[in-house]
Amino acid sequence: MANVLCDVCGEQAATVFVTKIVNNETTRQRLCESCARHRATTEGWMQHLLQDSGHLDTAQTDDIMSFLEHTDAALEAFMDQDGSAEAEFELPSSTIFNFGGFPADEDLVDEMEEAEMEEDLRADDFDAVNEALEADQHQLFPHDHTLRPIPTVRCSKCSTTWDRLRQDGRVGCSHCYIVFEEQLRDVMNRVQRAAEHTGKHPRTAEKRRRRLEHLRARRDHRLEMLNRRLQEAVAAEKYEDAAKLRDKIKIVASTIVSGE
């Protein structure tokens, strides 16, 4: 039996195996009992584990002491079970944990990985589940204090959320198109011919932009020329001309092309 060490402390034998699937990305952790306990309480996923294993009455969550006791009890229960224990639950942020509380054992690790692969396969189905969960988050976990509402992206100008937008079929303001660009691109790719505009563009704005560019280019060109003449004048020791040129340069350089 190969002894796998804890990923965190690297000292004790790993007894808790955690597989996290967040947005279809799998991360695996092997933890010893004490590190797992620490993680569980700080990261807040223990509660789900407890609920799943039936060790937590949700009504008791408020009581921190009993929560900790139950945490311990649950972990012990997992330790006692002989490698067959597995708990799964979903977090609303499309997170899936998979616990295997069994002694580190080559065969069992293989088994676990098989289970993980199954998980991966099922992950697609979870998208749908998670969507439902997002909607009913508070109903499903009414007393869950560790579950903070997921920070949803809002338009900074009109505070429209993507959900609202989808429901309405309308965006709130022109800024929404920047905030939700990715999602909108997906939508456009589905319903439109392409997600890139190829038609008419505002002509006056375009004209103004080109005119500005032209004016700036002309000013820069003039400055360059004057500078060259100044250098020539200095080289030829024509200081009177140089002074005049310097004044001219000052004037030209201080010209503001509107929009700058």
Which residues contribute to the site for other proteins (CB under 8 A)?
157-158, 160, 168-174, 177-178, 181, 184-185, 187-188, 191-205, 208
Determine contact, residues 35/6, Cβ cutoff 8 Å.
yes
Shortest approach of other proteins to residue 130 CB, angstroms? 24
Instruction: Compare residues 191 and 235 and give the one whose CB is closer to other proteins.
Output: 191
Instruction: Record the tokens describing residue 181, joined without a space.
Output: 């660009």
Residue 145 has phi, psi (to 5 degrees) of -80, -25
CA distances from 124 to 77, 120, 152 (A): 31, 8, 22
- Minimum Å gap between C-beta 256 and other proteins is 17
Residue closer to other proteins by CB (options 148, 185) is 185
Q: Distance between CA atoms of 93 and 82, rounded to whole angstroms? A: 31
Task: Work out how close the CB of 213 gets to other proteins at its nearest, in angstroms, rounded to a whole number.
Answer: 16
> Between residues 173 and 234, which has the closer beta carbon with respect to other proteins?
173
Torsion of CA 201, 204, 205, 206, to 10 degrees: 60
Query: CA 257: distance to chain centroid?
Result: 41
Task: Give the residue with the Cβ less far from other proteins, 54 or 202.
Answer: 202
Nearer to other proteins, 191 or 251 (CB): 191
Work out how close the CB of 186 gets to other proteins at its nearest, in angstroms, rounded to a whole number. 11
Least distance CB 165 / other proteins (angstroms): 8
> Cα separation of 174 and 179, whole Å?
9
